[in-house]
A = this chain, B = another copy of it.
Amino acid sequence: MSKYPKVAVFGGGSWATAIVKMLCENLDQVGWYVRNETTIDYIKENEHNPNYLSSAQFNIEQLNLSSDINKMVAYADVLIFAIPSAFIKTELDKITEEYSSKIIFSAIKGIIPESGLIVGEHFNQKLNVPLNNIGVISGPCHAEEVAMERLSYLTIACRDTEKAELISNCLSSHYIKTKTSDDIIGTEYAAMLKNIFAIAAGIAHGLGYGDNFQSVLMSNSIREMKRFIKKRHKMKRNINNSAYLGDLLVTGYSIFSRNRMFGNMIGKGYTVKSAMMEMSMIAEGYYASKSAQLLNKINPAKTPIIDAVYAILYQNKNPKTVFKRLTEQLD
């Protein structure tokens, strides 16, 4: 028997494609659910994803591609979901196969809008998957750099250390180093919040603030992230570990970040609608800022940056005015 379990990745975006690539470094066969049949045909013929991360080349013989989600659920022991949170519920609703006893890892950054829960909680509370079978794959990791095989570090969080180790082994390679963690809740919230802070960084840049301010914004963001997560799930964690601070920085500072790009357009005067139309990818932070705002009503933490982003994106407030006020609250 292989030392690796049967793994399937669910999603056709850039992060899903990157995870399939990582798995292909170790596994003889990788399951890959892609909704669109035309995309599957294209991948089979051209050995890369036509829409996202097209520079990542695959050996087709390693791929078990299917547009039938139930077939893929039945195939795998480990299901890795990398579908944007805004669409995940629609996809999960299609599943009729029993999977509550399988290992479920989420590579999704965000909250499931329909339940208001982070993905791990949703699987546990709504779909009866035991918490010990649920894990999270987190950055700091831009998919684009995985395609280029540039050294990247992942954090694999699961309450069951053995399962975290198992998935770590599947993903590690000469360009991927992994670290395991038992803070699945904190890791998920960090992955969600960092997108909001990246939007804030983008707005600041779009408004003409410079590098000096950017560093103050990031320094305040990590403190805000710590306060927010502590209110949701209190445990001993070092917020400066790569899964929290590293993930914030790679998103807040990188040119690859679609959230930062989205914020930048807002700062430059685009409306939310026009900025969204201009981008072909979803800015997860848009949905995250609404969810964070809602969550923070219960046992609230002080979150001036999240509040500012929410006011701009959902309350039609003027970015310049909101940020002027925000600068008074930072230090």
Determine whether the beta carbon of B327 is less than 8 Å from that of A209: no
Q: Which residues of chain B come closer than 8 Å to A240, judged between CB atoms?
A: 219, 222-223, 226, 239-240
Determine whether the beta carbon of B212 is less than 8 Å from that of A151: yes
A130-171 contacts to B (CB < 8 Å): 139-142, 145-146, 148, 150-153
**Interface assignment of A245: CB less than 8 Å from any CB of chain B:** yes
**Interface assignment of A218: CB less than 8 Å from any CB of chain B:** yes
Determine whether the beta carbon of A331 is less than 8 Å from that of B239: no
Determine whether the beta carbon of B223 is less than 8 Å from that of A153: no
Q: Which residues of chain B come closer than 8 Å to A210, judged between CB atoms?
A: 142, 145, 148, 150-152
Closest to A250 in B: B215
CB contact between A242 and one of B152, B209, B219, B255 (< 8 Å): that residue: B219
Closest to A247 in B: B215
Closest to A177 in B: B327
Q: Which residues of chain B come closer than 8 Å to A209, judged between CB atoms?
A: 150-151
Closest to A254 in B: B211
Determine whether the beta carbon of A249 is less than 8 Å from that of B141: no
CB contact between A250 and one of B148, B212, B245 (< 8 Å): that residue: B212
**CA–CA, A213 and B139, complex, Å:** 10
**CA–CA, A103 and B201, complex, Å:** 38
A218-B246, A242-B219 given as contacts; is B150 within 8 A of A212 (CB)?
yes
Determine whether the beta carbon of B250 is less than 8 Å from that of A211: yes
**Interface assignment of A296: CB less than 8 Å from any CB of chain B:** no
**Interface assignment of A253: CB less than 8 Å from any CB of chain B:** yes
A162 CB, nearest partner CB in chain B, Å? 19
**Interface assignment of A241: CB less than 8 Å from any CB of chain B:** yes
**Interface assignment of A75: CB less than 8 Å from any CB of chain B:** no
Determine whether the beta carbon of A215 is less than 8 Å from that of B242: yes
Q: Mark A243-284, 1 if CB is under 8 A from B, else 0.
A: 001110110011110000000000000000000000000000
Q: Which residues of chain B come closer than 8 Å to A245, judged between CB atoms?
A: 215, 218-219, 222
Closest to A330 in B: B153
**CA–CA, A195 and B315, complex, Å:** 41
Q: Mark A204-240, 1 if CB is under 8 A from B, else 0.
A: 0000111111111011101100100000000000111
Complex A-B: 15 CB contacts under 8 Å: A139-B212, A140-B215, A140-B216, A141-B212, A145-B210, A151-B210, A153-B213, A153-B331, A214-B249, A214-B250, A214-B253, A216-B242, A222-B245, A223-B241, A242-B331
